[in-house]
Amino acid sequence: MPTNQKRVTIRGSEKNAFSNAKSVGPVDDNERLEVTVRIRPKKPVDDLTSNSAYGDTLPRNRTYMSRDEMNAAHGADPQDIGKVETFARNNGLVVVEVNPEQRRIVLSGTAGAMSAAFGTKLEHFEHPEGTYRGRTGSLSVTDDISDIVEGVFGLDDRPQAKPHYQLHPEIFRRIHAGENAAAQVPSGSFTPPQLAKLYDFPQGLDGTGQCVAIIELGGGYRPADLKAYFTSLGLPVPKVKVVGVDGGRNQPTNANSADGEVMLDIEVVAALAPKASIVVYFAPNTDQGFLDAISKALHDKTNKPSIISISWGGPEASWTSQSLQGYNQVFQTAAALGVTICVAAGDNGSTDGETDGKQYVDFPASSPYVLACGGTKLVGSGSTISSETVWNESTNSATGGGVSTTFPLPSYQSTAHVPPSANPGHATGRGVPDVAGDADPASGYQVRVDGQNLVFGGTSAVAPLYSGLLALINQKLGTRTGYLNPIIYSARAGTALFHDVIAGNNGAYSAAQGWDACTGWGSPDGGKLLSYLQGQ
């Protein structure tokens, strides 16, 4: 590389060490690693929140792009790819993969070469939860590709997201007391089919013809558990496919690991839509792995998911700007393709687990292009809901929700009365969540994990709950629901399609009639939602 070539900072690449981490020395220059370089599209995807083709029009009146059409119009330009490949060669890096559809180029090289190529210093950091390879400050590239490169992911391999599930308090007590956790199913908990009855999910449907993608950043499942669980429910054992991303794989260990997240997601979706195809995309828990997994699922021409369920996330403040914008562009692409993204809103109330006295929303739930799923505490039996309130048992056991300080108020929320952020000086931004469902561990979901019958709650359960519902609805409609947000916020819909939750709070925000920053529009009334989407 010419020594006099100007370098330009990659916008939004600034990164800080974990607040409780310390550097313990540089990364060996000879250590090899891979990074994902995300590059600009041929032309940006239109702002779909104001595009009538994807606005509040019903699914039958929408025209979605195919994956081939998306690539042709909005994939990476071959000339841009060529320039990045030249940059890589000039810096001693190897091009491992080029994917124009996903606008990603995977580069391999030594830590020393990567540091020089992207103008950074790689160090090992220690923090209370482990160690990671990290960096601080900004990244840069040569000026000839500065307009092309939108982000570089993978130099830093710290854990990016957390799974949003929690054990039932009684089972948690049993485990820590050394008792049999599965001795007795706690009262007040539900199987997914019982919740489907309470929420009036459409009957006579099984998800045939639909594919639900599930994103996982750790853990795994055991086929024997699926067989035992679904046999106990009297349902067919689902056929689950696995797609590994960036070296991720199905790797079950024990019920105290991310296995609980994986099994919760699979079992909820498959119990609600037993004939839907389920594909689990396993990736490392890094900003690179998470982004690559979502992008892989979205552009998967073999399995063609119509719904993607995501139960992982973290406070907006824990992400770089390049990550926030890169992921958001992927979700915007999903809207154009007619793929619904259901995302858990978080389990730590309005602070999202942060301890600086400020309020945060969880990302990716805060993207305006996803269906953000909050949590409730549900009491009911049969088809009758006795009560439903905001899930809030404590600061660290409550539904996420609030106002984004990253994404502006989308047009579909213009009449939803989203309040200003509870943080001083912040204007009104994207309100979270959009919808809600049972999430309190005390009224949680009966699942099987690593040979044990357990009960889990958390908004992790609500994302697959809505994914299963939408698989049924898509089957009945004969088309994809796609970008649901503009529809449910339209003047014709709102609370008419949901059980409005008006009692409780998640810390800084309180429930109210209509939309609120605890449970959105409320919990689902599946029959009414289907009828509305049918145009009835």
- Catalytically active residues are 261, 265, 460
| DSSP labels, 258-326 | THHHHHHHHHHHHHHSTTSEEEEEE--SSHHHHHHHHHHHHT-TTT--SEEEE-EEEEGGGS-HHHHHH
DSSP 8-class letter at 443: G
- Rounded to 5°, angle at Cα 351 from 127 and 464: 90
Q: How far apart are CA 496 and CA 494, in angstroms?
A: 5
Q: Which of 460, 368, 506 is nearest to 162 (CA)?
A: 460
Region class of 457: left (phi > 0), else alpha (psi between -120 and 50), else beta:
beta
Say how far residue 304 (Cα) sits from the centre of its chain.
Answer: 18
Say how far residue 125 (Cα) sits from the centre of its chain.
Answer: 27
Is the Cα dihedral 266, 268, 271, 274 positive or negative? negative
Q: Which of 25, 289, 311, 274 is nearest to 165 (CA)?
A: 311
Q: Which amino acid is at 255?
A: A
Q: How far apart are CA 210 and CA 203, in angstroms?
A: 16
Q: How far apart are CA 166 and CA 455, in angstroms?
A: 9
In contact, 318 and 159? CB cutoff 8 Å: no
Strands 312-315 and 162-163: antiparallel
In contact, 80 and 112? CB cutoff 8 Å: no
Q: Which of 379, 441, 419, 401 is nearest to 313 (CA)?
A: 401
Q: How far apart are CA 391 and CA 264, in angstroms?
A: 18
Dig out the tokens for 65 from the structure. Answer: 């792009």
In contact, 318 and 405? CB cutoff 8 Å: no
Cα distances from 383 to residues 193, 196, 456, in angstroms, run 11, 9, 21
Q: Which amino acid is at 497?
A: L
Q: Which amino acid is at 245?
A: V
Dig out the tokens for 234 from the structure. Answer: 């009297």
Q: Which residue has the tokens 């915007």?
A: 332
Q: Which of 374, 373, 403, 376 is nearest to 392 (CA)?
A: 376
Cα distances from 410 to residues 43, 56, 325, 522, 535, in angstroms, run 22, 13, 15, 19, 24
Count of all residues that appear for the chain in the document: 536
In contact, 202 and 534? CB cutoff 8 Å: no
In contact, 258 and 219? CB cutoff 8 Å: yes
